[in-house]
Structure 1
């Protein structure tokens, strides 16, 4: 039986910008390479993190604040990847993350909602999703059931 390979904790930090999400995803997936994630697992990481990071860039730092940092910590544990995303942007409305309910897609194309799919995807693909405002920081924590040992 092969021995379990654990990835050391690593961090990715970017400054909020139009290219920040792309840069962060590239660094995150590069850091996960030793785990040899299959295509589906890598896709799950990429979708969940792209949605979370795009929300930060668009809503926490809506004016493209060049000083807006986004820090991601990735910890590999037996039950998957534990990710913490911290920013110093605007607080989520009412201090809570959106419910993430599925949008009604059974409507005419012109009546389709423009947004609202991101939190549904995050909550559908990730486990143990939580948000809290700590001082002047937003903390999003989640677990992805990939690379579980």
Structure 2
């Protein structure tokens, strides 16, 4: 009998499709965090991945599907540079067909209660990822980004 093959040392890719509702997004995110390739990250990198993915997925549920139900597909692939992420939905396109601006929302002199609600999430996403790109192709929003390796934290 031939010997069993050596196990593949690379973390497995993950591919999930789920409805874009807050409760299901929360459950899907918990599943992603408990499965390779995110499971194998350090606590710090797992926290970063969870923050970025939660922000992206909640934005889709809240904004892209604001007026109708739909699905989100997430693909995570481990590579030498980090975790490559692709998030696809069929919701409304990004305003103007582009990612929101890089900067933080204007807040000089504002009291905490008067700070704007939006804009901070995209600043976090941009700060914690690399190679962030958005495209609208054939009615689908495609957001891709890299969660860098431990030594390459942006």
TM-score by length of 2: 0.85
Alignment pair present for 1:52 and 2:56:
yes
Which residue does 1:77 correspond to in 2? 79
Distance 2:33 2:150 in 1: 13
1:29 and 2:13 aligned = no
Contact 1:84 1:140 in 2 (8 A): yes
2: distance between equivalents of 1:32 and 1:113? Answer: 36
Q: Which runs of 5+ in 1 are unaligned?
A: none
The residue number in structure 2 matching 1:87 is 89
Classify the secondary structure of the residue corresponding to 1:76. strand
- The separation in 1 between residues aligned to 2:119 and 2:51, in whole angstroms, is 14
What TM-score, normalized by structure 1, do the two folds share?
0.87
- 1:41 aligned counterpart, secondary structure: helix
User: Which residue of structure 2 aligns with residue 99 of structure 1?
Assistant: 101
Distance change >3 Å, CA 139–CA 99, structure 1 → 2: same
Larger radius of gyration: 2
Instruction: Provide the aligned C-alpha RMSD in A.
Output: 2.1
Deviations, residues 53-106 of structure 1 (Å, cap 9, x unaligned): 0110011100351xx010000110000000000000011111111013123444
From the superposition, tell whether residues 55 and 34 of structure 1 become closer, same or farther in structure 2 (CA, over 3 Å): closer
CA contact (8 A) 1:127 1:145 kept: yes
Distance in 2 (alpha carbons) for counterparts of 1:70 and 1:28: 13
Q: d(CA) in 2 for partners of 1:7 and 1:41?
A: 15
CA contact (8 A) 1:127 1:142 kept: yes
Q: Which has the higher contact order (CA 8 A, sep 6+)?
A: 1
